[in-house]
Amino acid sequence: MDETQARDRHLELCKQLHRHNYLYHVLDRPEIPDAEYDRLFRELLELEKAYPELAGPDSPSARVGAAPLDKFEPLRHTLPMLSLENAFDEAEMREFDARIKRFLHRDAEIDYVCEMKMDGVAVELVYRGGKLAAGATRGDGTVGENITENLKTVPAVPLVLADSAPELLEVRGEVFMDLRDFQALNREREENGEPTFANPRNATAGSLRQLDSRVTARRPLKIFCYGVGEIAGDVPSNHLETLEALQGWGCRVNLEGTRRVRGVDGVLARYRELVESREELPFEIDGMVVKVDDLALRRELGEKTRTPRWAIACKFPPRQAETIIEDILLQVGRTGAITPVALLRPVEVSGVTVSRASLHNWDEIDRLGVRIGDHVVVERAGDVIPDVVRVLAEKRTGIERPLPLPQACPECGSPVAKLEGEVVPRCQDLACPARLLEGIKHFVGRRAMDIDGLGARYIDQMLRLDLSESVADLYRLDRDDLFRFERMGEKLAEKLLGAIEASKRRPLPRFLFALGIRHVGEHIAKVLARQFGSLDNLAKTSRDELLAIHEVGPQVADSVVDFFASGRNREILDQLRAAGVAPEATERRAGGPLSGKTFVFTGTLPTLGRKEGQEMVENLGGRAAGSVSRKTDYVVAGEEAGSKLEKARSLGVAILSEKEFLTMIEKEAEA
Ligand code: IVH
């Protein structure tokens, strides 16, 4: 492929990827399977690798994030980003409507647009010539922070708009996280020994505040656009049409959750509907925003200093309750992280009795000013585990005690350390029984080694009976050991031993995840397994080699290197190996007929998908790589194979057609 062809193909790929991105993330109506999208995306990345000058700021590749910034620059909004006045009950909503009619000297009912009030972070996106030029937080309403690179990683933020979009367009919207995504993110953070976020809003704010946009890119952020700032060109005459136009230009709009209603009675009816359906929504809303639909009337109504006269936020009754913090428990996780958990006097919050609340970390404790014995307001944010949102300091009697940062581990008494940049102190003792318990619980977990039946109760007994000093000791348990457990019967013992035996051959990614290496969650475990093929290869790797992997950052690289550098960890791994734990390297099986051979697939093959071909190679023990080098043994090339084919030729690497490849595979599989 020459440069002109590359440029044409790049343009075509960008167009297609932008379009499919819009269909998937904005309209929720994908036209192609994910694998096909991934294929196009990979082709784009490969093309940009070969021709780096093609990778412009609005290429879909910008979504993976850019080099970290030192700080965010201030960005002045052309028009101030206002906030909203609140209405807390029916009377206040009626008053809002009456005020508008008075101001306009009108008796006729007003048309309003009712939107969901998203509980996230307000942002502005500036498009010039149809391209995303800048993105900012609201800040103080006049000046926000320039978080363009981070906003580019949000899949539903268009990098380019449709041709019909105005020359200048400032879009306003709310970035947020779906509840399920938020819970999964927190679960992953917990597993990786990182502090959890208190609610989806904090998780969103934290994600957008990252100086390294590659971190933001991995956070499941979404956006709903709900208005415009400066706009040059023909403007619709009412708000609902503006929203529809925004969607047509490429922006994600919550049209499904939006209604145009007549008069305040319409507003109230919609409000009741929303309160009802609130629990079923996939995201958090904290109210309904009511806006005058007619833009001419809006202009007439104008603004006060910080709030418009033409809109109001109708807040929802809080899912909150008041209770007392009876004690604060210090939980020690498997990475030694010490998390404070408030033990509450049981209280009902929207139908669920709650008795615990995570306080997350000491920054949060300081922010809230929480003391043991305090009256507090707790809130349930879509999850059963609530959060402490506020201390009722006026109810203090003087018996409340602050919670000092622990100097020693509450479980084993060894010293704790709070490292710079971390918000939780950690127990440093690898042999701490609480760390061990949590570590084994994680190891046997369903998504790790999946040792069915070995619950926390038995693990606890194992530790108490001194039967286990590490996960390796699980494989030494025999029937006699098991019979020392309380409530252990013949059948159960058989089942447990069977489950332990079966776990010896779990796939490598699960095993890597089970080891509980910090920052190595399920996804990174898969990436590492695919890249290294075996535990031994991974153990031998260097920081630089790890950093060369697209999805591995310095945190993960350091943590992996440290893990294998530890004598204690190597000892445990040796014991596991000696006990017969031999994880299956599913993706890159050693010892197969293609073992030691590296294949690269490029171009469109007549019948095989690239993934399919790669899997075939891997199933026979070979390696499928993404780029051609001297180490490549075969390049399987199809139509429109580009730079890789050229490189293979220049390096003298064997080139196969699909047919030749399939014949080879057949032979090897029979051998
Ligand atoms: S309209 C002048 N619409 O609520 C109009 N705001 O205090 C200002 N919000 O900062 C905003 N969903 O972060 C509007 N559908 C929606 C909204 C919404 C959430 C947030 C936004 C704003 C705050 C209002």
Question: Do 3-64 and 320-417 fold alike per CATH?
Answer: no
- Alpha carbon of 13 to those of 237, 301, 627: distances in Å? 36, 47, 19
Domain borders along the chain are: 3-64, 85-315, 320-417, 433-505, 508-578, 598-670
CATH number of 433-505: 1.10.150.20
pLDDT at 671: 58
* Cα-to-centroid distance, 312 and ligand 1 (Å): 9
Counting from 1 in the atom list of ligand 1, the atom nearest the Cα of 82 is: 2
- Residues near ligand 1 (Cβ within 6 A): 82-84, 115, 117-118, 122, 138, 174, 226-227, 289, 308, 311, 313
Pairing of strands 111-118, 285-292: antiparallel
126 Cβ partners below 8 Å, 6+ apart?
78, 132, 133, 134, 135, 136, 168, 169, 170, 171
Give the C-alpha distances (Å, rounded to integers) separating 270 from 275, 278, 428, 632: 9, 12, 55, 63
pLDDT at 293: 98
Pick from 321, 322, 326: which is nearest to 399 by CA?
326
Question: Residue 538's CB: how many other CB atoms inside 10 A?
Answer: 20
Instruction: Compute mean pLDDT per 10 residues along the chain, 671 residues long, and list them.
Output: 93 96 93 90 93 93 89 95 95 97 96 97 97 96 96 97 96 96 88 80 94 94 97 90 97 98 98 91 93 97 94 89 95 92 89 84 92 94 76 96 92 89 87 92 93 90 90 94 90 93 93 93 88 92 87 89 92 95 68 80 84 78 83 89 87 90 78 58
Global pTM value: 0.64
Q: Write the Ramachandran bin of 586: left for phi over 0, alpha for psi from -120 to 50, otherwise beta.
A: alpha
Q: From the CA of 289, how far away is ligand 1's center (Å)?
A: 7
Cα(117) to centroid(ligand 1), Å: 6
Q: What is the C-alpha separation between 135 and 157, in angstroms, rounded?
A: 10
Those residues whose C-beta lies under 8 Å from the C-beta of residue 106, and which sit 6 or more positions away, are: 100
Q: Which residues contact 599 (CB under 8 A, 6 or more apart)?
A: 613, 614, 617, 622, 623, 624, 625, 632, 633, 634, 635, 636
4: phi > 0 → left, psi -120 to 50 → alpha, else beta; which? alpha
What spacing in Å lies between the alpha carbon of 540 and ligand 1's midpoint? 52
User: What is the position in ligand 1's atom list of the atom closest to the CA of 119?
Assistant: 19
Residues with active-site annotation: 117
Q: How many CB atoms lie within 10 A of CB 261?
A: 20
Return the closest-CA partner of residue 325 out of 346, 340, 347, 342. 342
Q: How many CB atoms are closer than 10 A to CB 205? A: 15
Ligand 1 pocket mutation pick from 79, 118, 239 by most atoms within 8 angstroms of CB: 118
Fold exhibited by the domain 85-315: D-amino Acid Aminotransferase; Chain A, domain 1 (3.30.470)
Q: Cβ(510)–Cβ(527) under 8 Å?
A: no
Q: What is the Cα–Cα distance from 68 to 88, expressed in whole angstroms?
A: 42
What spacing in Å lies between the alpha carbon of 657 and ligand 1's midpoint?
A: 57
Which residue among 285, 289, 299 is best mutated to probe the pocket of ligand 1, counting the most ligand atoms within 8 A of its Cβ?
289
Q: What is the dihedral of CA 407, 411, 413, 418, to 10 degrees?
A: -30
Distance, in Å, from the CA atom of 175 to the CA atom of 123, rounded to the nearest integer, reads 7
**Cross-strand bridge partners of residue 128:** 131, 168
Q: Is CATH 3.40.50.10190 the classification given to domain 598-670?
A: yes
Angle at 605 between CA 599 and CA 608, to 5 degrees: 80
**Per-residue pLDDT, 299:** 95
pLDDT score of 589: 44
Fold of domain 508-578: DNA polymerase; domain 1 (1.10.150)
Task: Tell me if 323 sits within 8 A of 390, measured CB to CB.
Answer: no
CATH number of 320-417, picked from 3.30.70.360, 3.40.390.10, 3.20.20.450, 2.40.50.140: 2.40.50.140
Distance CA 203, CA 209 (A): 10
- Burial (CB < 10 A; 0-12, 13-18, 19+), residue 564, is middle
- Options 1.10.287.610, 1.20.140.160, 3.60.10.10, 3.30.413.10; CATH for 3-64 is 1.10.287.610
The closest of 109, 198, 209 to 382, measured between CA atoms, is: 198
Residues in the chain: 671
Predicted pLDDT at 617? 84
Protein residue with least CA distance to atom 18, ligand 1: 117
Kindly give the pairing relationship between strand 623-625 and strand 634-637.
unpaired
Three-class secondary structure of residue 564 per DSSP: helix
Q: Are strands 143-145 and 74-76 parallel, antiparallel or unpaired?
A: antiparallel
Distances (CA, A) of 530 to 59, 279, 298, 594, 625: 27, 40, 57, 16, 10
